[in-house]
Amino acid sequence: MAASLRTFRALARPARQVRLAVSLPTAQQRLHSSKHPKGFEPPTSEDLDELRERVQEFTRREIPEEVAAHTDKSNAFPNDMWQKLGDAGFLGITADEDVGGLAMGYQAHCVVMEELSRASGSIALSYAAHSQLCVNQIQLNGSPEQKQKYLPGLIAGTSVGALAMSESGSGSDVVSMRTTARAVDGGYVLNGSKMWITNGPDAHVIVVYAKTEPEKGSKGITAFLVDTNTEGFSCARKLDKMGMRGSNTGELMFDSVFVPTENVLGKVNGGVRVLMEGLDLERLVLSAGPLGIMQAALDVALPFSHQRRQFGMPIAHNQLIQGRLADMYTKMQASRSYTYATAKAVDERGVIRTQDCAGAILYAAERATECSLDCIQLLGGMGYVEEMPASRLLRDAKLYEIGAGTSEIRRMVIGRAFNKEYANA
């Protein structure tokens, strides 16, 4: 399918060039190049609709409800999914075409993330950790050699990626991390541990942040590409979580792990920039996760409330039920608009607004928890039993209020962005 998606983009290209030439000022066209692959052209709404249909075909075939339920119950990622996602072309949506990517941008990445999340929250979370947190970080910050070495395998699905910044003692306050990277002949030696790392138990390559000069605080952090077959690296344990079960999450240990100089990602002591810029786009793409979960809640609640009869009529004919369904629907649509408007600004104008990346996931995540609770309530007793997916949706949705910075931190990020604007006013 990757090839057919590429063909479809190539065919669509002349039309888009004409449209762009008239719609975007030159300065804006230049802007989107820094966060997009070479030769990137923003997709049209027809491109995005076509992509969405292709992801839906994929999820119908590869992630039916039985696969999603089994992934949750077994708490194990279906490992053959990486190859299938790679064959479909979904693992390199934002990456250069010459390393196998589709160069389609962030709206497209949100489309894939939304539709995968609609099928299975946990498979989609692992997908995003791989394709956004790892692949896109290498795409944005990697040297040509690093891209050539790591991206083809990651995009084909023959290797698995992750990103490790959080530690047991530094989550929200991530720059207080204690993992160190000591300079030695030919590279660095990493010591420390990382906590809650998505794909950590399965990953072949991990973007790891460590302190190269601890005394410099946030200015002494560097990002590294760590091959997990390096001596001294281990996954101490896989975590047993309430939700996102099957998205394998691990605690990682670094016991004198040697990383060669050529595996420094970005600049030495420039890690905080890599981390913070990465976080904006990570929050944006992850905000499509709760969108998919809200749609999944409606996928369950709408047919159920029209089939389930009480007092001689479908429960959906009661106004209290209609009110709940209407609230679910409008919350989903409002969240969707915010996410895609923010992604469109990145793709078409190169504008990455920190407050909107944080705002989109803040809003969508809290609404997804509410919608999944609504779904449980609408289903009554069936909402409370595990044979229906409603409880899984709630358990999965709650993660989005915690991972990629908690709701509290997102509110702080938005407040600080205002402070910056007003300080410069």
Ligand X SMILES: Cc1cc2nc3c(=O)[nH]c(=O)nc-3n(C[C@H](O)[C@H](O)[C@H](O)COP(=O)(O)OP(=O)(O)OC[C@H]3O[C@@H](n4cnc5c(N)ncnc54)[C@H](O)[C@@H]3O)c2cc1C
Q: Which is nearer to ligand X, 164 or 221 (CB)?
A: 164
Q: Let me know: does 137 contact 224? Beta carbons within 8 Å.
A: no
Q: Using CB under 6 A, which of 223, 272, 300, 409 touches ligand X?
A: 409
Nearest Cα to 107, choosing from 335, 341, 263, 355?
A: 341
Q: Using CB under 6 A, which of 2, 116, 190, 197 touches ligand X?
A: 197
Q: How far is the CB of 129 from ligand X (least distance, A)?
A: 5
Separation between Cα atoms, residue 82 and residue 88, nearest integer Å: 10
Q: Tell me the one-letter amino acid at 290.
A: P
Q: How far is the CB of 155 from ligand X (least distance, A)?
A: 19
Q: Which is nearer to ligand X, 244 or 316 (CB)?
A: 244
Q: How far is the CB of 237 from ligand X (least distance, A)?
A: 14
Separation between Cα atoms, residue 93 and residue 136, nearest integer Å: 9
Which region, judged by CB under 6 A, interacts with ligand X, from 60-68, 177-185, 196-204, 380-388? Answer: 196-204
Q: How far is the CB of 410 from ligand X (least distance, A)?
A: 9
DSSP 8-state symbol, 42? P
Sign of the torsion angle spanned by Cα atoms 328, 288, 282, 171: positive
| 226 contributes a contact to ligand X by CB under 6 A | no
Q: Using CB under 6 A, which of 2, 55, 81, 165 touches ligand X?
A: 165
Q: Using CB under 6 A, which of 399, 400, 413, 414 touches ligand X?
A: 399
* Nearest-5° Cα angle at 171, 167 to 177: 50
Q: Using CB under 6 A, which of 214, 268, 406, 417 touches ligand X?
A: 406
| 164 contributes a contact to ligand X by CB under 6 A | yes
Phi (first) and psi of residue 179, to 5 degrees: -65, 130
- Active-site annotation, residues: 282
Q: Which is nearer to ligand X, 89 or 200 (CB)?
A: 200
| 129 contributes a contact to ligand X by CB under 6 A | yes
Q: How far is the CB of 417 from ligand X (least distance, A)?
A: 16
Residues 6+ apart with CB under 8 A from 187: 258, 259, 260, 261, 263
Tokens of 41: 């052209």
Q: Let me know: does 135 contact 205? Beta carbons within 8 Å.
A: no
| 171 contributes a contact to ligand X by CB under 6 A | yes
Q: Using CB under 6 A, which of 43, 350, 383, 405 touches ligand X?
A: 405
Phi (first) and psi of residue 239, to 5 degrees: -85, 145
Distances in Å between the Cα of 149 and the Cα atoms of 135, 187, 419 are 12, 18, 41
| 53 contributes a contact to ligand X by CB under 6 A | no
The residue with tokens 């910056």 is 420
Beta bridge partners of 389: none
Task: List the x/- string, 356-395, binding to ligand X by CB under 6 A.
Answer: ----------------------------------------
DSSP 299-319: HHHHHHHHH-EETTEEGGGSH
Counting residues that bind ligand X (by CB under 6 A) gives: 22
DSSP 181-208: EEEETTEEEEEEEEEEEETTTT-SEEEE
Q: Which is nearer to ligand X, 85 or 129 (CB)?
A: 129
Q: Let me know: does 129 contact 55? Beta carbons within 8 Å.
A: no
Residue nearest to ligand X (CB): 171
Q: Which is nearer to ligand X, 103 or 164 (CB)?
A: 164
| 75 contributes a contact to ligand X by CB under 6 A | no
| 23 contributes a contact to ligand X by CB under 6 A | no
Q: Using CB under 6 A, which of 371, 403, 413, 414 touches ligand X?
A: 403
The footprint of ligand X on residues 239-258 (CB under 6 A) is 241, 244, 249
Q: Let me know: does 93 contact 99? Beta carbons within 8 Å.
A: no
Tokens of 162: 């992750």
The residue with tokens 């509410």 is 370
Q: How far is the CB of 407 from ligand X (least distance, A)?
A: 7
The footprint of ligand X on residues 307-336 (CB under 6 A) is none
DSSP 358-395: HHHHHHHHHHHHHHHHHHHHHHGGGGGSTTSTHHHHHH
| 291 contributes a contact to ligand X by CB under 6 A | no
Q: Which is nearer to ligand X, 48 or 404 (CB)?
A: 404
| 163 contributes a contact to ligand X by CB under 6 A | yes
Which region, judged by CB under 6 A, interacts with ligand X, from 78-86, 143-151, 404-412, 415-423? Answer: 404-412
Residues 6+ apart with CB under 8 A from 210: 177, 179, 180, 181, 188, 190, 192, 221, 222, 224, 254, 271
Which region, judged by CB under 6 A, interacts with ligand X, from 48-56, 185-193, 227-235, 402-410? Answer: 402-410
- Enumerate binding residues for ligand X (CB under 6 A): 129, 162-166, 171-172, 196-198, 241, 244, 249, 399, 402-406, 408-409
